[in-house]
Structure 1
């Protein structure tokens, strides 16, 4: 097949070089974006009287027919085509004749692919934001259900202080809300149209880039033509934001893996989101959480790969930039798959409140409250801290808990202890007293749920 860029050279490349250079096998997914951009371009060319109005109509009708045929499977992608842009232009010219050759006036594949990527990212970004909204909603529902389910909070994976399962889940809800916000911010910076930058230096035609940008829903055109074709900051930023999403999913995955083990037994996952063992019949493995944890490294890799690709590129377009797409596509697919799996997994997850409570009772997580009790009685905090530690050591040695120590024994350590100490160190009371803003009390968790749900109603 003769190359459309033949002229300066004969347009003949070795078959291996053709295969190496071709991107049709992965950029074919951009066909809708490429056609949308081409329709807007044809309208602009006609408006500016760069091509005849009738030719523009024929081009638009031809492009709409190609899109419909691709949608319905009536047209197959040509694996020998160099890329999606050449494929669509070739099919268009075959179908409508010479008018099809007018479409590429006042543009280059350099600004065309830059446009397609932005349109694709905008569409996928909005889809991912909706999935994040759905995941946060599921976390809020589950947090509200378990807003009073007492469990130990951890530092260093050691039981630390009393919280609720709802409080723990809301921590993740806020993480994913920040992810949603980052993606929305990235989209605002990305939402400028590079078309009309052409190869790198614009064009001598009297184009209207502002009109074309408005047709495609952009805030305006990219103001510098060199930047228009060479900028991939938005792809890097998107991969960074998606890496953050995966990092948060991975942290939640790690917790779910721990919580669903017999050692913790804090949660039970629905059978639909677990697998069994081929040899051990008792197993119920949290494979979906483990896979999400594993795919995190994959998305990180795409971010580092693109940063490395771009770090030494001079202006303007270089073929290296073709390497931006496969990593982006895979990252988008991975994040969407993980989010779509997590939403129903969270919705159907059940907490084992008894196991959580028993873990809290055995963890001496009211030791800080014991120290606070003594401090409020007048003992300096550092002395109260030391004394509470001695009592914990005594309980461990005697295999008991603080709340079961007789008052007489407590008073051997300090005369400040009175009968009200048991109320002060009751775990549920310890939890209820934590009413500081953002804390784990049921009322605070309910307030957090209400706040996040309100934020979800606000359009970015």
Structure 2
């Protein structure tokens, strides 16, 4: 007969290869504290159900706390059996009573929800640190002008603060997605048993309360079989990582010699093993790359769940590595991005000079003519001709005299000089969410409130 905890109906021990292949302690040992927390609460529930006496519960609770103080368990098929084995070593047959009415199926579902709850809180805190770094740098640059881009081509002048606050908006949506995921994960599966519910009179509502959950799951099959709460957190992490990849991709561009908009302190950059001149934004590049890793974790778990019949299947053992890696990677990248933002040194003069190049004031000319009554499509075409002439003569639009402008259209008046400046272009974008200085200051005040 097999000596496995579940080995009563087996006539032989597991094949060593199969035993090694199906073990999960190497990675689910990270659920050590969550599993002990669940077991301590379960022991109290067994007292209320009349399975344990108060004295037995106290002995079990004390032993579980001692196991937690030991810091780890050394042997077992998974974290659940490893802790149970250690408990039975300490308490003998009493340790075997703890699993009454409980399955590893609802046990692991609980552990994961407890982990997601704690991980989500850490993610929210780390997101807030990046937001704070962006807001702090935006406050420093409410007057710094830079070129705004479309298609990676200079388009219109914007304030650097406006550009940085765009990422604050993205991260705040990421914050909301994680908070939403945590809200839906706030359900206790414990007491669902293997699939049909516990066979003992467990007060699941009280048990959920003991564990700090908002309620207990409504369906035992769903409670043990689904991992959509993990998918939601990984989805939120994936989207946040895409936002970080865009931000860090811009840091890579901005710190290049070709842009020279910013530089990193030596402590936040890396060198080359061959080229003595190199100063590389390696941390930003790695954040950009790791976004694909987290998205891969999400797709991995999606494929694990695809087509699984109810209820529990061993496929679900594959959920943990994807979850742990996705959370760990996102947390690390959030912390690194915050540090990069804090250290980034912007060159105001270079950015201002670039903001005027590329004929970025062309839209101001078209809008000016439209305000004078010319249909915008005609104005667009006319200014396009002006840009073509400026390119051919190697001039900026702002260098055209009033007489030269009036050669293209008599609608141009002396007041055009107020529009052919960076400040005039910025001031003209005076709408909610626009880059006008007053609007950017409003936006700053809003995100700081």
Cα deviation, 1:29-48, whole Å, max 9, x if unaligned, reads: 10000000000000111122
Pairwise mapping of residues 441-452 of structure 1 onto structure 2 (< 5 A)?
441-452=436-447
Q: Give the structure 2 partner of residue 5 of structure 1.
A: 6
Q: Give the structure 2 partner of residue 304 of structure 1.
A: 299
Q: Is the 8 A contact 2:188 2:217 kept in 1?
A: yes
What displacement does 1:278 show? 1.0
Picking from 71, 82, 88, the partner of 1:87 is: 82
What displacement does 1:310 show? 0.8
1:81 and 1:205 mapped to 2: Cα distance?
A: 27
- Whether 2:73 is the aligned partner of 1:77: answer yes
What displacement does 1:94 show? 0.5
Pairwise mapping of residues 246-265 of structure 1 onto structure 2 (< 5 A)?
246-265=241-260
Q: Give the structure 1 partner of residue 144 of structure 2.
A: 149
Q: Is the 8 A contact 2:49 2:200 kept in 1?
A: no
Name the TM-score, length of structure 2 as normaliser: 0.98
What displacement does 1:378 show? 2.1
Coordinate RMSD, CA, aligned: 1.2
Q: Is the 8 A contact 2:48 2:202 kept in 1?
A: no
Please, which moves more after superposition, 116-125 or 98-107?
A: 98-107
Q: Give the structure 2 partner of residue 73 of structure 1.
A: none
- Whether 2:14 is the aligned partner of 1:18: answer no
Q: Give the structure 2 partner of residue 280 of structure 1.
A: 275
Please, which moves more after superposition, 402-411 or 286-295?
A: 402-411
- Whether 2:30 is the aligned partner of 1:34: answer no
1:27 and 1:240 mapped to 2: Cα distance?
A: 21
Q: What secondary structure does 1:371 align onto?
A: helix
Q: What secondary structure does 2:419 align onto?
A: helix
Q: Give the structure 1 partner of residue 220 of structure 2.
A: 225
1:414 and 1:445 mapped to 2: Cα distance?
A: 34
2:119 and 2:285 mapped to 1: Cα distance?
A: 24
Gaps of 5+ in 1: 71-75, 455-460
Q: Give the structure 1 partner of residue 170 of structure 2.
A: 175
2:269 and 2:435 mapped to 1: Cα distance?
A: 30
What displacement does 1:11 show? 5.9
Gaps of 5+ in 2: none
Q: What secondary structure does 2:414 align onto?
A: coil
How many residue pairs were aligned? 448
Q: What secondary structure does 1:151 align onto?
A: strand
What displacement does 1:111 show? 0.3
Q: Give the structure 2 partner of residue 242 of structure 1.
A: 237
Q: Give the structure 1 partner of residue 433 of structure 2.
A: 438
What displacement does 1:152 show? 0.9
Cα deviation, 1:173-230, whole Å, max 9, x if unaligned, reads: 1101000100000111111000100100112211111111001111111010001100
What displacement does 1:102 show? 0.9
Kindly report structure 1 stretches of 4+ aligned residues shifted beyond 3 Å. none
- Whether 2:358 is the aligned partner of 1:363: answer yes
Picking from 368, 382, 387, the partner of 1:373 is: 368
Q: Give the structure 1 partner of residue 325 of structure 2.
A: 330
Name the TM-score, length of structure 1 as normaliser: 0.95
Q: Is the 8 A contact 1:270 1:345 kept in 2?
A: no
